[in-house]
Amino acid sequence: MTRVLPIDTSKATAAPGARVGVLLVNLGTPDTADAAGVRVYLKEFLSDRRVIEDQGLVWQFVLNGIILRKRPRTKALDYQKIWNTEKNESPLKTITRSQADKLAAALADRTHVVVDWAMRYGNPSIKSGIDALIAQGCDRILVVPLYPQYSASTSATVCDEVFRVLARLRAQPTLRVTPPYYEDEAYIEALAASIEASLASLPFKPELIVASFHGMPKSYVEHGDPYQGHCVATTEALRRRLGMDASKLLLTFQSRFGNDEWLQPYTDATMKRLAQDGVRRIAVVTPGFAADCLETLEEIAQENAEIFRHNGGEAFAAIPCLNDSEPGMDVIRTLVLRELQGWI
């Protein structure tokens, strides 16, 4: 018969932790707006198998022999057009930091909750964010990928990196990840309110609105990525909320590169076609971005605006992302509080 010995708790200590961490994660940004900084960023970004699935010898030659030799110089010029010179950082970094600060302030009455932020590519890294939360006693962490629409090349690669970090830890924190929120009521309402407020402030009335989402190779969707369906669902929900049909709120995809077919219709081709068809006044909203960045501030507000005007358009408005605005923070706070149920 096995004897069960009493446990001596006189020298036992309380387990460390008992705090809850929240880590906001966005895509990433170069540390500097020069060719060297952009090269480091692009190398990390384009070496991710979630972003470029075929990382074989041909791609390695193209990446290292062509793209990383030429593209950093041109993209650095684009970053310089939008760079936050006061803080010497990209707007994406400035806004994401502010989102984390405002979320922390909103949760300040919950003293056991700690908020931090990170970038999937570049700095601050996901590893540094997780390390900082653990160092502050967090034994539970909620990761918040700031992508309303899920795709393997955004949301999934955040989880990949989080899991890689945790795989090196002996004492792992308990993990939760917020789900995509592409048709969440709070998100759609915030988008609609932002669009309505922006339209009311314009000196002209747009004939239609274009909802531009980041592009993706068509083959990724054919292999099972739900991203396109999520973008369609967001656009349809916005149409219902704003009382617009498909002729007044268009869905397009931007930011493609390479020779493969990407999701269509393409934003730049749509800008050209609309202007040539006689549309003179438009507004563009970018619902897939939680914070303004190169793709919204330069590609949409500058490049696509020029395409539209060059082909006969007259008035072009780029509607800001939700960013750290009150409606934008309502969305993030709603998501976080919902997923923290049972922890706080």
| 238 CA to centre of own chain | 19
Give pLDDT, residue 221. Answer: 97
Give pLDDT, residue 1. Answer: 42
What is the C-alpha separation between 183 and 237, in angstroms, rounded? 7
* 19-181+327-339 and 185-318, same CATH topology: yes
Which residues are known binding-site members?
214, 295
Give pLDDT, residue 9. Answer: 34
Give pLDDT, residue 15. Answer: 43
CATH architecture of structural domain 19-181+327-339:
3-Layer(aba) Sandwich (3.40)
In the predicted model, what is the mean pLDDT of the chain? 94
**pLDDT value at 8 more than 70:** no
The 10s digit of each residue's pLDDT in 252-261 is 999 988 788 9
**pLDDT value at 12 more than 90:** no
pTM comes to 0.92
So where are the chain's domains?
19-181+327-339, 185-318
Give pLDDT, residue 260. Answer: 87
The HSE-up count of residue 174 (CA atoms within 13 Å, CB side) is: 9
Which residues are known binding-site members for Fe(2+)?
214, 295
**pLDDT value at 11 more than 50:** no
Mean pLDDT value of segment 178-204:
97
Class of domain 185-318: alpha beta
The HSE-up count of residue 139 (CA atoms within 13 Å, CB side) is: 8
pLDDT band at 234 (very low <50, low <70, confident <90, very high): very high
CA dihedral 126→131→137→139, nearest 10 degrees, is 60
**pLDDT value at 7 more than 70:** no
Mean pLDDT value of segment 45-61:
95
Residue 48, exposed/middle/buried by CB under 10 A (0-12, 13-18, 19+)? middle
**pLDDT value at 43 more than 60:** yes
Pick from 24, 333, 20: nearest CA to 162: 24
The 10s digit of each residue's pLDDT in 13-32 is 334 458 999 999 999 999 99
Give pLDDT, residue 293. Answer: 97
